[in-house]
Amino acid sequence: MQILHLISSNGLFGAERVVIELSKSLRLINNCKPIVGVIKNLKNPHTEIAEEAKSNGLMTIVFPCKGKFDIKTISEIRKFMKRVQIDLIHCHGYKSNLYGLLASKNILPTLTTNHNWLTWHWKLKIYCFFDSLWIRHFDRIVAVSEEIKRSMLKYKIPKEKIKVIDNGIDIERFNKEILTKNIKREFGINENVKVVGTIGSLKFEKGHTFLLRAAKEILNINKDVKFLFVGDGPLRKILEDETKNLGIEKDIIFTGLRNDIPELLSIMDIFVLPSVKEGLPMVILEAMASKKPVIATKVGGIPKVINNEENGILVEPKDVSALKHSIIDLMNNVSKMHRLAYEGYEKVKRNFSSDAMCKKYYDLYQELMA
C-alpha cells in the first residue's frame, strides 16, 4: 500500500510533526510505503518538513506552486500518483485538501486530517468556509479532537465521514541524554535560573500575550526566571514590542524557528501552553514525553491528555492570574513538579505513542482500500 501524505506547510509545526511521526511508524508495517508530498509555495517557500522527512529516511516529493491556485501543480500531483501507483492520498490542511482532492478525482480513495480550523482573522474564516465546502467530498475525515469534530458538524459535514484519532509521538526521541549546560549558555541563561518555556507558532490562537502578562507579574516577585518562547509567526514583532512595553525584554527570549525541540525542552523547568484554541497539540505530548511538568489551558483535546493536578495543571484560557499562580506554585514545590512530570510521561507512553496513532490510521486506510 503506497500512501501519499500531501501538505502545504509554513514551517515545522504540529501538523507537520504528525505527518513525520505517522510516516515513520507506517514504514515499519509490511507492504506499507508512506511518501511525504510537500506543496512548495514559491511566494512563501517553506520546505522544512521535506528536509525533516528526508533526514528520517522517508521518500519525499516537492511540488512547486506559483500561486494560490496553480493548475499545473494539480496536474503534477496527479501525474506523480499515476506514475508511482499511489493507492491512497492523505491530505493535511486547506490547500492540500483542494489540490489533493482535484488531483485524485476518480482515481483513488481520499482521506484528510483536520488538525485545527483557525478563525481568529477574517481571512482564516474565509479559508475555513471554503475548506468546509470541499472537505465534505473526501471519503473519510479525521479530526484530532472532539472539539474539531464538533466544529465540522456545525458546517454540516456528514457525521458518518468523521473519525476522531488522537495524535501520537515517538517517545524515544525525547529520552536521549542531553547536555543542558551548552544550550543554556547559547541563550545566556545561568545554571541557577529557572526556565519557563512555550513552543508554538506566534499567532493569536496560541495565547502568548497572556503568558507575557503573567511573566511580568512573576518577575515582580522572582527575578531568577527566564521565559523561553520557541517559534516564529505573524505576531512576533507585536509580542516583542509588548515585552518592551512591560519592561521585561531582558527576561524574555524569542528563539525563532528551531528544529532542536528535544534539546530546548530539556532546559525548561516548566512547560506552559496558554492557547485560546487548539486541536490536540503535539507539543503538549512532547513536553510530557520529556518529563516536564505542564501547565495548559482547557481547550481542544488538551483535557483529554491532562487531568488537572494529576499529570499536569489546567487553567482557563486568557486567565493571566491563573497562569501566574500555577507557575509560582510549581516553582515553589519541587516534589509536585517531579510528580506531575512523572505522571505526564506515563500517560503519554500509555496512550499517545506514534505506534498507537499509526494503528488507528492503518485500520482506516484498509477500510478505505476495501
Q: With cut-offs at 50, 70 and 90, classify the pLDDT of residue 33.
A: very high
Which of 100-109, 168-177, 197-206 bottoms out in mean pLDDT, i.e. has the lowest? 168-177
Percent over 90 (pLDDT), the chain: 79
In terms of residue numbers, what domain contains 277? 171-351
Q: Are residues 163 and 73 in the same domain?
A: yes
> What was the pLDDT predicted at 62?
96
Three-state SS for the chain is CEEEEEEECCCCCHHHHHHHHHHHHHCCCCCCEEEEEEEEECCCCCCHHHHHHHHCCCEEEEEEECCCCCHHHHHHHHHHHHHHCCCEEEEECHHHHHHHHHHCCCCCCEEEEECCCCCCCHHHHHHHHHHHHHHCCCCEEEECCHHHHHHHHHCCCCHHHEEECCCCECHHHHCCCCCHHHHHHHCCCCCCCEEEEEECCCCHHHCHHHHHHHHHHHHHHCCCEEEEEEECCCCHHHHHHHHHHHCCHHHEEEEECCCCHHHHHHCCCEEEECCCCCCCCHHHHHHHHCCCCEEEECCCCHHHHCCECCCEEEECCCCHHHHHHHHHHHHCCHHHHHHHHHHHHHHHHHHCEHHHHHHHHHHHHHHHHC
Q: Are residues 186 and 149 in the same domain?
A: no
The tens digit of pLDDT for each residue in 56-100 reads: 999 999 999 998 889 999 999 999 999 999 999 999 999 999 999
Q: Are residues 99 and 180 in the same domain?
A: no
The tens digit of pLDDT for each residue in 202-246 reads: 999 999 999 999 999 999 999 999 999 999 989 999 999 999 999
> What was the pLDDT predicted at 122?
65
Average pLDDT, the chain: 93
Q: Which residue has the higher pLDDT, 33 or 180?
A: 33
CATH value at residue 304: 3.40.50.2000
Q: Are residues 101 and 230 in the same domain?
A: no
Q: Are residues 335 and 280 in the same domain?
A: yes
Q: With cut-offs at 50, 70 and 90, classify the pLDDT of residue 326.
A: very high
Q: What is the mean pLDDT of residues 161-184?
A: 89
Domains identified in the chain, total number = 2
Q: With cut-offs at 50, 70 and 90, classify the pLDDT of residue 120.
A: low
> What was the pLDDT predicted at 165?
95
Q: Are residues 252 and 328 in the same domain?
A: yes
Q: Are residues 313 and 186 in the same domain?
A: yes
Q: Are residues 248 and 100 in the same domain?
A: no
Q: Are residues 160 and 207 in the same domain?
A: no
> What was the pLDDT predicted at 268?
97
Q: Are residues 345 and 202 in the same domain?
A: yes
Q: With cut-offs at 50, 70 and 90, classify the pLDDT of residue 121.
A: low
> What was the pLDDT predicted at 324?
97
Q: Which residue has the higher pLDDT, 10 or 161?
A: 161
Q: Are residues 209 and 331 in the same domain?
A: yes
Which of 43-47, 213-217, 295-299, 353-357 bottoms out in mean pLDDT, i.e. has the lowest? 43-47
Q: With cut-offs at 50, 70 and 90, classify the pLDDT of residue 126.
A: confident
> What was the pLDDT predicted at 118?
67
> What was the pLDDT predicted at 340?
98
Q: Are residues 139 and 216 in the same domain?
A: no
